[in-house]
Chains A and B, each alone.
Chain A
Amino acid sequence: MDILVCISKAPDTTSKISFTDNNTAFSNDGVQFIVNPYDEWYSLVRALELKEAQGGKVTILSVGGADYEPIMRKALAIGADEAVRVDSETNDSSQVAGEIAHYITSNPFDLILCGKETIDYNGSNVGGIIAGILDIPFISNASKLDVSGSTISAQRDKQGGIEILEASCPSVVSCAKGMAEQRIPNMRGIMAARSKPLTVVAASGAGTLTEVASFDLPPAKGGVKLIDPENAGELINLLHTEAKVI
Protein backbone atom coordinates (compact mmCIF):
# COMPACT_ATOMS: atom_id res chain seq x y z
CA MET A 1 0.00 0.00 0.00
CA ASP A 2 1.28 3.44 -0.97
CA ILE A 3 0.59 6.02 1.70
CA LEU A 4 1.16 9.75 1.46
CA VAL A 5 1.53 11.64 4.74
CA CYS A 6 1.19 15.42 4.49
CA ILE A 7 3.57 17.09 6.92
CA SER A 8 3.44 20.71 7.99
CA LYS A 9 5.64 22.65 10.35
CA ALA A 10 4.39 24.70 13.27
CA PRO A 11 5.80 26.78 16.09
CA ASP A 12 6.36 24.82 19.29
CA THR A 13 3.28 25.15 21.57
CA THR A 14 5.21 27.05 24.19
CA SER A 15 6.47 29.70 21.71
CA LYS A 16 5.74 33.32 22.47
CA ILE A 17 3.59 34.65 19.66
CA SER A 18 4.40 38.05 18.15
CA PHE A 19 3.95 39.79 14.81
CA THR A 20 5.93 42.06 12.50
CA ASP A 21 5.34 44.22 9.40
CA ASN A 22 2.63 46.25 11.06
CA ASN A 23 0.95 43.13 12.50
CA THR A 24 0.54 41.44 9.13
CA ALA A 25 3.16 38.70 9.49
CA PHE A 26 4.08 36.14 12.13
CA SER A 27 7.47 36.83 13.67
CA ASN A 28 9.82 33.83 13.47
CA ASP A 29 12.17 35.50 15.92
CA GLY A 30 13.35 33.00 18.51
CA VAL A 31 10.61 30.54 17.53
CA GLN A 32 11.40 26.83 17.58
CA PHE A 33 9.65 25.02 14.71
CA ILE A 34 8.45 21.44 15.10
CA VAL A 35 6.66 18.86 12.98
CA ASN A 36 2.96 19.66 13.43
CA PRO A 37 2.06 17.30 16.33
CA TYR A 38 -0.95 15.65 14.65
CA ASP A 39 1.15 14.85 11.59
CA GLU A 40 4.05 13.47 13.60
CA TRP A 41 2.32 11.53 16.35
CA TYR A 42 -0.76 10.25 14.62
CA SER A 43 -0.77 10.22 10.82
CA LEU A 44 2.90 9.39 10.32
CA VAL A 45 3.05 6.70 13.00
CA ARG A 46 -0.21 5.08 11.87
CA ALA A 47 1.07 5.07 8.27
CA LEU A 48 4.26 3.31 9.44
CA GLU A 49 2.23 0.74 11.41
CA LEU A 50 0.06 -0.01 8.37
CA LYS A 51 3.15 -0.42 6.21
CA GLU A 52 4.85 -2.67 8.79
CA ALA A 53 1.76 -4.90 8.89
CA GLN A 54 0.86 -4.96 5.20
CA GLY A 55 3.93 -3.85 3.22
CA GLY A 56 4.11 -0.84 0.94
CA LYS A 57 5.71 2.55 1.16
CA VAL A 58 5.30 5.72 3.21
CA THR A 59 6.05 8.99 1.44
CA ILE A 60 5.93 12.28 3.26
CA LEU A 61 5.10 15.48 1.42
CA SER A 62 5.48 19.09 2.50
CA VAL A 63 4.59 22.21 0.60
CA GLY A 64 7.08 24.87 1.58
CA GLY A 65 10.52 26.40 1.27
CA ALA A 66 13.94 24.94 2.15
CA ASP A 67 13.18 25.83 5.79
CA TYR A 68 10.87 22.77 5.84
CA GLU A 69 13.74 20.34 5.35
CA PRO A 70 14.80 19.94 9.02
CA ILE A 71 11.30 18.83 10.03
CA MET A 72 11.11 16.59 6.96
CA ARG A 73 14.37 14.90 8.00
CA LYS A 74 12.84 14.30 11.40
CA ALA A 75 9.86 12.56 9.77
CA LEU A 76 12.31 10.44 7.75
CA ALA A 77 14.18 9.61 10.95
CA ILE A 78 10.94 8.39 12.52
CA GLY A 79 10.66 5.96 9.62
CA ALA A 80 9.15 7.40 6.42
CA ASP A 81 10.74 5.92 3.28
CA GLU A 82 11.06 9.02 1.16
CA ALA A 83 10.20 12.69 1.12
CA VAL A 84 8.90 15.16 -1.42
CA ARG A 85 8.99 18.91 -1.00
CA VAL A 86 6.87 20.99 -3.32
CA ASP A 87 8.90 24.18 -3.49
CA SER A 88 6.31 26.84 -2.86
CA GLU A 89 5.28 29.64 -0.59
CA THR A 90 2.53 28.69 1.84
CA ASN A 91 0.11 31.57 1.89
CA ASP A 92 -3.18 29.83 2.48
CA SER A 93 -4.79 26.40 2.72
CA SER A 94 -6.21 26.50 -0.83
CA GLN A 95 -2.73 27.01 -2.23
CA VAL A 96 -1.20 24.23 -0.11
CA ALA A 97 -4.04 21.82 -0.88
CA GLY A 98 -3.92 22.78 -4.56
CA GLU A 99 -0.22 21.86 -4.74
CA ILE A 100 -0.77 18.56 -2.90
CA ALA A 101 -3.74 17.64 -5.12
CA HIS A 102 -1.68 18.45 -8.21
CA TYR A 103 1.14 16.18 -7.01
CA ILE A 104 -1.25 13.33 -6.26
CA THR A 105 -2.85 13.58 -9.70
CA SER A 106 0.41 12.51 -11.35
CA ASN A 107 1.62 10.33 -8.43
CA PRO A 108 -1.36 8.36 -7.14
CA PHE A 109 -1.54 6.93 -3.59
CA ASP A 110 -3.92 4.48 -1.92
CA LEU A 111 -4.29 6.60 1.17
CA ILE A 112 -3.59 10.27 1.92
CA LEU A 113 -3.17 11.22 5.57
CA CYS A 114 -3.27 14.70 7.11
CA GLY A 115 -3.34 15.94 10.68
CA LYS A 116 -6.66 17.17 12.06
CA GLU A 117 -5.25 20.71 12.01
CA THR A 118 -2.02 22.66 12.11
CA ILE A 119 -1.50 24.25 15.50
CA ASP A 120 -0.65 27.65 14.01
CA TYR A 121 -3.65 28.76 11.97
CA ASN A 122 -5.90 25.99 13.30
CA GLY A 123 -7.52 25.54 9.92
CA SER A 124 -8.64 21.90 9.65
CA ASN A 125 -8.85 22.82 5.98
CA VAL A 126 -6.12 21.25 3.85
CA GLY A 127 -7.23 17.58 3.92
CA GLY A 128 -10.84 18.33 2.95
CA ILE A 129 -9.84 20.77 0.22
CA ILE A 130 -7.61 18.07 -1.33
CA ALA A 131 -10.59 15.68 -1.26
CA GLY A 132 -12.81 18.37 -2.81
CA ILE A 133 -10.39 19.02 -5.66
CA LEU A 134 -9.78 15.32 -6.36
CA ASP A 135 -13.40 14.29 -5.69
CA ILE A 136 -12.41 11.42 -3.37
CA PRO A 137 -13.78 10.50 0.11
CA PHE A 138 -12.71 12.50 3.17
CA ILE A 139 -12.88 11.26 6.75
CA SER A 140 -12.15 14.05 9.22
CA ASN A 141 -10.87 13.75 12.79
CA ALA A 142 -10.37 9.99 12.78
CA SER A 143 -9.19 8.54 16.09
CA LYS A 144 -8.68 5.01 14.68
CA LEU A 145 -7.81 3.83 11.19
CA ASP A 146 -7.54 0.45 9.50
CA VAL A 147 -7.22 -0.69 5.92
CA SER A 148 -8.19 -4.08 4.60
CA GLY A 149 -7.81 -4.57 0.85
CA SER A 150 -9.23 -1.35 -0.54
CA THR A 151 -11.62 -0.74 2.36
CA ILE A 152 -10.77 1.95 4.88
CA SER A 153 -12.43 1.76 8.27
CA ALA A 154 -12.17 4.56 10.78
CA GLN A 155 -13.58 5.77 14.07
CA ARG A 156 -14.40 9.27 15.15
CA ASP A 157 -15.12 10.49 18.69
CA LYS A 158 -18.30 12.49 18.62
CA GLN A 159 -20.55 13.96 21.27
CA GLY A 160 -22.21 11.04 23.01
CA GLY A 161 -20.14 8.26 21.48
CA ILE A 162 -18.01 6.86 18.70
CA GLU A 163 -18.90 6.81 15.03
CA ILE A 164 -17.71 3.87 12.89
CA LEU A 165 -17.05 4.92 9.31
CA GLU A 166 -16.12 3.20 6.08
CA ALA A 167 -14.74 4.43 2.75
CA SER A 168 -12.72 3.07 -0.19
CA CYS A 169 -9.19 3.75 -1.37
CA PRO A 170 -8.07 6.28 -2.34
CA SER A 171 -9.36 8.54 0.45
CA VAL A 172 -8.10 11.44 2.50
CA VAL A 173 -8.18 10.92 6.27
CA SER A 174 -7.40 13.61 8.85
CA CYS A 175 -5.92 12.13 12.01
CA ALA A 176 -6.61 12.97 15.66
CA LYS A 177 -5.50 11.68 19.04
CA GLY A 178 -6.06 7.99 19.70
CA MET A 179 -4.82 6.74 16.36
CA ALA A 180 -1.27 5.83 17.38
CA GLU A 181 1.42 6.36 19.99
CA GLN A 182 4.19 8.88 19.43
CA ARG A 183 7.55 7.40 18.28
CA ILE A 184 10.88 8.96 19.20
CA PRO A 185 13.50 8.71 16.45
CA ASN A 186 16.51 6.61 17.46
CA MET A 187 20.14 7.04 16.41
CA ARG A 188 19.84 4.51 13.60
CA GLY A 189 16.79 6.29 12.23
CA ILE A 190 18.53 9.66 12.39
CA MET A 191 21.58 8.26 10.52
CA ALA A 192 19.40 6.53 7.92
CA ALA A 193 17.35 9.69 7.36
CA ARG A 194 20.42 11.48 6.02
CA SER A 195 20.62 9.24 2.99
CA LYS A 196 16.90 8.79 2.31
CA PRO A 197 15.65 10.54 -0.83
CA LEU A 198 14.25 14.06 -0.38
CA THR A 199 13.07 15.20 -3.78
CA VAL A 200 12.26 18.82 -4.48
CA VAL A 201 9.64 19.41 -7.17
CA ALA A 202 8.56 22.71 -8.65
CA ALA A 203 5.23 24.21 -7.65
CA SER A 204 2.35 24.02 -10.11
CA GLY A 205 1.34 27.58 -9.31
CA ALA A 206 -1.83 26.87 -7.31
CA GLY A 207 -3.41 30.17 -6.28
CA THR A 208 -4.60 31.53 -2.95
CA LEU A 209 -8.20 32.40 -2.14
CA THR A 210 -7.60 34.12 1.20
CA GLU A 211 -5.03 36.46 2.76
CA VAL A 212 -4.35 37.56 6.32
CA ALA A 213 -5.17 41.27 6.65
CA SER A 214 -3.86 41.58 10.22
CA PHE A 215 -3.10 39.77 13.44
CA ASP A 216 -3.67 40.93 17.00
CA LEU A 217 -3.14 39.65 20.52
CA PRO A 218 -5.94 39.20 23.06
CA PRO A 219 -6.25 41.97 25.66
CA ALA A 220 -4.64 41.10 28.99
CA LYS A 221 -7.01 39.58 31.56
CA GLY A 222 -8.08 42.00 34.28
CA GLY A 223 -6.80 39.76 37.04
CA VAL A 224 -8.59 37.11 39.03
CA LYS A 225 -11.16 37.96 41.70
CA LEU A 226 -10.57 35.59 44.61
CA ILE A 227 -13.43 34.32 46.74
CA ASP A 228 -12.98 33.02 50.25
CA PRO A 229 -13.39 29.21 50.20
CA GLU A 230 -15.35 29.38 53.47
CA ASN A 231 -17.90 31.45 51.62
CA ALA A 232 -17.75 29.64 48.26
CA GLY A 233 -21.45 30.11 47.60
CA GLU A 234 -20.77 33.81 47.06
CA LEU A 235 -19.26 32.80 43.71
CA ILE A 236 -22.67 31.73 42.45
CA ASN A 237 -24.16 35.13 43.36
CA LEU A 238 -21.33 36.92 41.56
CA LEU A 239 -21.82 34.76 38.47
CA HIS A 240 -25.50 35.66 38.57
CA THR A 241 -25.43 39.36 39.40
CA GLU A 242 -22.00 40.58 38.29
CA ALA A 243 -20.82 38.34 35.42
CA LYS A 244 -24.45 37.59 34.44
CA VAL A 245 -23.59 34.19 32.98
CA ILE A 246 -26.04 32.12 35.02
Chain B
Amino acid sequence: MNVLVFADNNQGKVAKSAFEASSYGAKIAAENGGTASIVTYGKLDDSEMEELASYGISNITVGTGITDMDPQRLSRLCQAVSETNNAELIIFSHDYSGKSIAPIVSGRMKAGLVSGAIEYPVLADGFTIRKAVFSGKAFANVKITSPTKVISLLPNSVGKTKTPASANITEVTDSFGSPSVQVKDFVVEGGDGINLTEAELVVSAGRGLKDPSNWGMIEELASELGAATACSRPVADIGWRPHHEHVGQTGIAIRPNLYIAAGISGAIQHLAGVNGSKVIVVINTDPEAPFFKAADYGIVGDAFVVIPKLIEAVRQLKLSEA
Protein backbone atom coordinates (compact mmCIF):
# COMPACT_ATOMS: atom_id res chain seq x y z
CA MET B 1 0.00 0.00 0.00
CA ASN B 2 1.53 3.33 -1.06
CA VAL B 3 0.98 6.11 1.44
CA LEU B 4 1.04 9.89 0.98
CA VAL B 5 1.50 12.16 4.01
CA PHE B 6 0.63 15.85 3.93
CA ALA B 7 3.22 17.88 5.90
CA ASP B 8 2.13 21.37 6.87
CA ASN B 9 4.81 24.00 7.33
CA ASN B 10 5.05 27.52 8.58
CA GLN B 11 7.52 29.60 6.58
CA GLY B 12 9.74 26.63 5.81
CA LYS B 13 9.53 24.99 9.23
CA VAL B 14 7.63 21.72 9.32
CA ALA B 15 4.96 21.26 12.00
CA LYS B 16 6.12 18.77 14.63
CA SER B 17 2.91 16.77 14.19
CA ALA B 18 3.90 16.23 10.53
CA PHE B 19 6.99 14.27 11.62
CA GLU B 20 4.77 11.99 13.66
CA ALA B 21 2.41 11.60 10.68
CA SER B 22 5.41 10.78 8.44
CA SER B 23 6.65 8.09 10.80
CA TYR B 24 3.10 6.72 11.04
CA GLY B 25 2.67 6.67 7.26
CA ALA B 26 6.08 5.11 6.67
CA LYS B 27 5.34 2.27 9.08
CA ILE B 28 1.96 1.53 7.46
CA ALA B 29 3.58 1.54 4.00
CA ALA B 30 6.50 -0.67 5.05
CA GLU B 31 4.25 -3.24 6.68
CA ASN B 32 2.04 -3.43 3.61
CA GLY B 33 4.57 -3.58 0.82
CA GLY B 34 4.49 0.04 -0.30
CA THR B 35 6.38 3.29 -0.10
CA ALA B 36 5.62 6.45 1.84
CA SER B 37 5.84 9.90 0.28
CA ILE B 38 5.37 13.43 1.54
CA VAL B 39 3.52 16.29 -0.07
CA THR B 40 4.13 19.81 1.13
CA TYR B 41 4.11 23.34 -0.31
CA GLY B 42 5.95 26.64 -0.40
CA LYS B 43 9.64 26.44 0.26
CA LEU B 44 11.07 24.07 2.89
CA ASP B 45 14.42 24.46 4.59
CA ASP B 46 16.83 21.70 3.48
CA SER B 47 17.33 20.54 7.05
CA GLU B 48 13.58 20.09 7.37
CA MET B 49 13.49 17.92 4.22
CA GLU B 50 16.28 15.75 5.62
CA GLU B 51 14.46 15.37 8.90
CA LEU B 52 11.22 14.42 7.11
CA ALA B 53 13.07 11.82 5.02
CA SER B 54 14.66 10.31 8.14
CA TYR B 55 11.31 8.86 9.20
CA GLY B 56 11.35 6.44 6.29
CA ILE B 57 10.12 8.62 3.45
CA SER B 58 11.14 7.87 -0.15
CA ASN B 59 9.71 10.88 -2.03
CA ILE B 60 9.03 14.47 -1.13
CA THR B 61 6.93 16.57 -3.50
CA VAL B 62 6.92 20.30 -2.90
CA GLY B 63 4.12 22.35 -4.48
CA THR B 64 6.12 25.52 -5.00
CA GLY B 65 3.22 27.28 -6.72
CA ILE B 66 1.29 27.53 -3.43
CA THR B 67 2.62 29.64 -0.59
CA ASP B 68 -0.41 30.03 1.71
CA MET B 69 -2.35 27.34 3.56
CA ASP B 70 -5.09 27.49 0.92
CA PRO B 71 -7.21 24.35 1.47
CA GLN B 72 -8.85 23.97 -1.96
CA ARG B 73 -5.61 24.42 -3.89
CA LEU B 74 -3.73 22.16 -1.49
CA SER B 75 -6.42 19.50 -1.87
CA ARG B 76 -5.87 19.62 -5.65
CA LEU B 77 -2.12 19.28 -5.07
CA CYS B 78 -2.72 16.29 -2.75
CA GLN B 79 -4.98 14.66 -5.31
CA ALA B 80 -2.47 15.17 -8.14
CA VAL B 81 0.45 13.80 -6.12
CA SER B 82 -1.55 10.86 -4.78
CA GLU B 83 -2.45 9.91 -8.34
CA THR B 84 1.17 10.17 -9.52
CA ASN B 85 2.32 8.02 -6.60
CA ASN B 86 -0.57 5.56 -6.75
CA ALA B 87 -1.29 6.28 -3.11
CA GLU B 88 -4.15 4.32 -1.59
CA LEU B 89 -3.92 6.10 1.72
CA ILE B 90 -3.53 9.85 2.36
CA ILE B 91 -2.61 10.95 5.87
CA PHE B 92 -3.03 14.35 7.55
CA SER B 93 -2.42 15.58 11.09
CA HIS B 94 -5.67 16.30 12.91
CA ASP B 95 -4.73 19.94 13.49
CA TYR B 96 -5.86 23.09 11.65
CA SER B 97 -4.24 22.01 8.40
CA GLY B 98 -5.78 18.53 8.49
CA LYS B 99 -9.18 19.79 9.61
CA SER B 100 -9.15 22.18 6.65
CA ILE B 101 -7.78 19.99 3.86
CA ALA B 102 -8.53 16.33 4.67
CA PRO B 103 -12.34 16.62 4.29
CA ILE B 104 -11.97 18.51 1.00
CA VAL B 105 -9.71 15.76 -0.34
CA SER B 106 -12.27 13.21 0.85
CA GLY B 107 -15.14 14.99 -0.91
CA ARG B 108 -13.16 15.64 -4.06
CA MET B 109 -11.77 12.10 -4.42
CA LYS B 110 -14.71 10.14 -2.95
CA ALA B 111 -12.25 8.74 -0.46
CA GLY B 112 -13.63 7.72 2.95
CA LEU B 113 -12.32 9.82 5.83
CA VAL B 114 -11.71 9.00 9.48
CA SER B 115 -10.54 12.01 11.45
CA GLY B 116 -8.65 11.92 14.74
CA ALA B 117 -7.09 8.44 14.47
CA ILE B 118 -5.26 7.45 17.66
CA GLU B 119 -3.71 4.11 16.64
CA TYR B 120 -2.32 2.31 13.60
CA PRO B 121 -5.01 1.01 11.24
CA VAL B 122 -5.86 -2.69 11.44
CA LEU B 123 -5.86 -4.29 7.99
CA ALA B 124 -6.88 -7.83 8.95
CA ASP B 125 -10.53 -7.42 8.02
CA GLY B 126 -10.80 -4.41 5.73
CA PHE B 127 -9.17 -1.23 7.01
CA THR B 128 -10.22 -0.20 10.51
CA ILE B 129 -9.14 2.91 12.42
CA ARG B 130 -9.61 3.65 16.09
CA LYS B 131 -10.70 7.09 17.27
CA ALA B 132 -12.23 8.71 20.34
CA VAL B 133 -15.93 9.62 20.11
CA PHE B 134 -18.51 11.27 22.37
CA SER B 135 -15.88 13.75 23.57
CA GLY B 136 -13.57 11.02 24.81
CA LYS B 137 -16.27 9.06 26.63
CA ALA B 138 -15.96 6.13 24.19
CA PHE B 139 -13.95 4.78 21.26
CA ALA B 140 -15.09 3.73 17.79
CA ASN B 141 -13.36 1.37 15.39
CA VAL B 142 -14.31 2.70 11.96
CA LYS B 143 -13.85 0.83 8.71
CA ILE B 144 -13.11 2.73 5.49
CA THR B 145 -14.76 0.95 2.59
CA SER B 146 -13.60 3.06 -0.40
CA PRO B 147 -10.48 2.15 -2.44
CA THR B 148 -8.71 5.43 -1.59
CA LYS B 149 -8.66 6.27 2.09
CA VAL B 150 -8.01 9.43 4.09
CA ILE B 151 -7.08 9.57 7.77
CA SER B 152 -6.07 12.39 10.03
CA LEU B 153 -3.88 11.42 12.98
CA LEU B 154 -4.44 13.05 16.35
CA PRO B 155 -1.07 14.58 17.36
CA ASN B 156 0.82 12.75 20.13
CA SER B 157 -0.96 9.46 19.57
CA VAL B 158 1.66 7.06 18.24
CA GLY B 159 5.05 8.75 18.69
CA LYS B 160 7.68 8.52 15.98
CA THR B 161 10.62 6.31 14.99
CA LYS B 162 13.46 7.07 12.61
CA THR B 163 14.06 4.75 9.65
CA PRO B 164 16.84 6.41 7.70
CA ALA B 165 16.01 6.82 4.03
CA SER B 166 17.06 9.25 1.36
CA ALA B 167 14.17 10.88 -0.38
CA ASN B 168 13.81 11.98 -3.99
CA ILE B 169 12.70 15.56 -4.11
CA THR B 170 10.29 16.74 -6.79
CA GLU B 171 8.99 20.24 -7.30
CA VAL B 172 5.58 20.92 -8.76
CA THR B 173 5.22 24.52 -9.93
CA ASP B 174 1.51 24.45 -10.78
CA SER B 175 -0.50 26.86 -8.62
CA PHE B 176 -3.63 24.64 -8.83
CA GLY B 177 -6.11 27.36 -9.64
CA SER B 178 -6.85 30.75 -8.16
CA PRO B 179 -6.82 31.31 -4.39
CA SER B 180 -9.88 30.06 -2.48
CA VAL B 181 -9.06 31.19 1.04
CA GLN B 182 -6.41 33.87 1.52
CA VAL B 183 -4.52 34.48 4.75
CA LYS B 184 -4.66 38.26 5.08
CA ASP B 185 -2.89 38.64 8.38
CA PHE B 186 -1.67 36.88 11.50
CA VAL B 187 -2.05 38.73 14.78
CA VAL B 188 0.43 37.38 17.31
CA GLU B 189 -1.10 36.83 20.73
CA GLY B 190 0.50 35.39 23.82
CA GLY B 191 4.05 34.85 22.58
CA ASP B 192 5.55 31.83 20.95
CA GLY B 193 5.33 29.17 23.63
CA ILE B 194 5.23 25.46 22.93
CA ASN B 195 2.44 24.44 20.55
CA LEU B 196 -0.34 23.15 22.81
CA THR B 197 -1.79 20.50 20.46
CA GLU B 198 1.64 18.99 19.95
CA ALA B 199 2.97 19.35 23.50
CA GLU B 200 3.95 16.20 25.38
CA LEU B 201 3.70 17.98 28.73
CA VAL B 202 1.03 20.52 29.63
CA VAL B 203 0.53 22.65 32.76
CA SER B 204 -2.99 24.05 33.00
CA ALA B 205 -4.84 26.24 35.47
CA GLY B 206 -8.38 27.41 36.13
CA ARG B 207 -10.48 29.83 38.08
CA GLY B 208 -8.94 28.57 41.32
CA LEU B 209 -5.95 30.82 40.57
CA LYS B 210 -8.20 33.83 41.19
CA ASP B 211 -6.32 36.45 39.18
CA PRO B 212 -4.40 36.59 35.88
CA SER B 213 -1.37 38.00 37.71
CA ASN B 214 -1.03 34.64 39.46
CA TRP B 215 -0.10 32.81 36.24
CA GLY B 216 3.62 33.54 36.73
CA MET B 217 4.11 30.36 38.73
CA ILE B 218 2.21 28.31 36.13
CA GLU B 219 4.41 29.65 33.36
CA GLU B 220 7.48 29.05 35.48
CA LEU B 221 6.56 25.42 36.17
CA ALA B 222 5.80 24.94 32.47
CA SER B 223 9.08 26.47 31.46
CA GLU B 224 11.06 24.33 33.94
CA LEU B 225 9.36 21.21 32.56
CA GLY B 226 9.47 22.29 28.92
CA ALA B 227 5.67 22.14 28.92
CA ALA B 228 2.96 24.14 27.14
CA THR B 229 0.38 26.10 29.16
CA ALA B 230 -3.38 25.63 28.94
CA CYS B 231 -6.46 26.84 30.80
CA SER B 232 -10.12 26.17 31.52
CA ARG B 233 -12.84 27.93 29.57
CA PRO B 234 -13.98 30.56 32.09
CA VAL B 235 -10.41 31.75 32.39
CA ALA B 236 -10.21 32.36 28.62
CA ASP B 237 -13.71 33.85 28.55
CA ILE B 238 -12.88 36.52 31.12
CA GLY B 239 -9.68 37.32 29.26
CA TRP B 240 -7.18 36.07 31.83
CA ARG B 241 -5.57 33.85 29.20
CA PRO B 242 -5.59 33.79 25.38
CA HIS B 243 -8.37 31.80 23.69
CA HIS B 244 -6.04 29.36 21.99
CA GLU B 245 -5.07 28.00 25.43
CA HIS B 246 -8.60 26.94 26.27
CA VAL B 247 -9.04 23.16 26.35
CA GLY B 248 -12.26 21.17 26.54
CA GLN B 249 -15.36 20.50 24.58
CA THR B 250 -15.59 24.01 23.14
CA GLY B 251 -11.84 24.56 23.05
CA ILE B 252 -9.26 22.14 21.77
CA ALA B 253 -8.74 18.49 22.63
CA ILE B 254 -5.23 17.44 23.58
CA ARG B 255 -3.48 14.14 24.34
CA PRO B 256 -0.24 14.95 26.14
CA ASN B 257 1.79 12.42 28.11
CA LEU B 258 1.30 14.56 31.21
CA TYR B 259 -1.49 17.01 32.05
CA ILE B 260 -1.14 18.95 35.31
CA ALA B 261 -4.33 20.80 36.32
CA ALA B 262 -4.22 23.34 39.12
CA GLY B 263 -7.38 25.03 40.41
CA ILE B 264 -9.63 23.38 37.83
CA SER B 265 -12.75 21.61 39.11
CA GLY B 266 -12.86 19.00 36.33
CA ALA B 267 -16.30 19.62 34.82
CA ILE B 268 -17.31 17.08 32.19
CA GLN B 269 -16.87 19.67 29.40
CA HIS B 270 -13.30 20.32 30.54
CA LEU B 271 -12.52 16.59 30.78
CA ALA B 272 -13.74 16.18 27.19
CA GLY B 273 -10.61 17.98 26.03
CA VAL B 274 -8.05 16.25 28.24
CA ASN B 275 -9.27 12.76 29.08
CA GLY B 276 -7.00 11.28 26.42
CA SER B 277 -3.91 12.42 28.38
CA LYS B 278 -1.71 9.54 29.46
CA VAL B 279 -1.10 10.79 33.02
CA ILE B 280 -3.28 13.37 34.78
CA VAL B 281 -2.20 15.26 37.90
CA VAL B 282 -4.77 17.31 39.82
CA ILE B 283 -4.01 19.99 42.40
CA ASN B 284 -7.11 21.29 44.14
CA THR B 285 -8.04 22.52 47.61
CA ASP B 286 -11.34 20.65 47.47
CA PRO B 287 -10.97 16.87 48.00
CA GLU B 288 -14.43 16.46 46.43
CA ALA B 289 -13.44 18.16 43.15
CA PRO B 290 -14.67 15.86 40.34
CA PHE B 291 -11.28 16.05 38.60
CA PHE B 292 -9.74 13.69 41.21
CA LYS B 293 -11.88 10.87 39.78
CA ALA B 294 -10.11 11.23 36.43
CA ALA B 295 -6.64 11.75 37.93
CA ASP B 296 -3.67 9.42 38.26
CA TYR B 297 -1.94 11.56 40.88
CA GLY B 298 -3.55 14.15 43.12
CA ILE B 299 -2.58 16.71 45.71
CA VAL B 300 -5.33 18.06 47.92
CA GLY B 301 -3.82 21.45 48.63
CA ASP B 302 -3.45 25.11 47.81
CA ALA B 303 -1.93 25.72 44.38
CA PHE B 304 -0.14 28.78 45.73
CA VAL B 305 1.78 26.54 48.14
CA VAL B 306 2.07 23.42 45.99
CA ILE B 307 3.20 24.88 42.65
CA PRO B 308 6.34 26.62 44.06
CA LYS B 309 7.30 23.31 45.68
CA LEU B 310 6.91 21.54 42.35
CA ILE B 311 9.06 24.15 40.61
CA GLU B 312 11.74 23.60 43.21
CA ALA B 313 11.50 19.81 42.89
CA VAL B 314 11.87 19.99 39.08
CA ARG B 315 15.00 22.11 39.53
CA GLN B 316 16.40 19.57 41.99
CA LEU B 317 15.62 16.71 39.62
CA LYS B 318 17.35 18.50 36.75
CA LEU B 319 20.43 19.12 38.94
CA SER B 320 20.59 15.49 40.01
CA GLU B 321 20.30 14.35 36.39
CA ALA B 322 22.88 16.82 35.10
Contact = CB atoms under 8 A, between A and B. Distances in A.
A124 B103 contact: yes
A43 to B, nearest CB: 14
B272 interface: yes
Given A132-B107, A209-B113, A213-B143, A232 B301 contact: yes
Interface string B142-161: 11111000000000000000
A95 to B, nearest CB: 11
Contact of B115 (A124, A233, A239): A124
Interface string B169-191: 00000000000111111111111
A208 B99 contact: no
B143 A163 contact: no
Chain A: interface secondary structure?
Answer: mixed
A122 B301 contact: no
Interface stretch (B28-36, B52-60, B276-284): B276-284
Interface string B304-321: 011001101110110000
Main secondary structure on B side of the interface with A? mixed
A113 to B, nearest CB: 15
Given A131-B72, A137-B72, A245 B96 contact: no
Given A17-B134, A245-B201, A125 B113 contact: yes
A120 B115 contact: no
Given A158-B96, A224-B297, A233-B309, A119 B135 contact: yes
A9 interface: no
A110 to B, nearest CB: 16
A128 B72 CA distance: 10
B165 interface: no
Counting chain B CB atoms within 10 Å of each CB, the highest count among A14, A126, A131 belongs to A131
A236 B313 contact: yes
Chain B interface category by residue count? 35 or more
A237 B317 contact: yes
A128 B244 contact: no
Contacts of B298: 224-227
Interface residues of A, number: 82
Given A17-B138, A209-B111, A236-B310, A161 B143 contact: no
A93 interface: yes
Contacts of A123: 115
Interface string A93-121: 11001000100000000000000000111
A164 B269 contact: no
A18 to B, nearest CB: 9
Nearest to B321: A240
A129 B103 contact: yes
Contacts of A13: 135, 249, 268-269, 272
B138 A162 contact: no
A159 B134 contact: no
B316 A233 contact: yes
Given A129-B106, A160-B244, A245 B135 contact: no
6 tightest Cβ-Cβ pairs between the two chains A and B? A132-B107, A128-B103, A229-B301, A209-B112, A233-B313, A129-B107
10 contacts: A17-B134, A97-B107, A128-B104, A130-B107, A132-B104, A158-B96, A165-B184, A177-B251, A214-B140, A222-B296
Given A101-B107, A214-B140, 11 more contacts: A17-B134, A37-B249, A97-B103, A122-B131, A131-B104, A140-B99, A161-B186, A208-B145, A211-B143, A229-B300, A243-B296
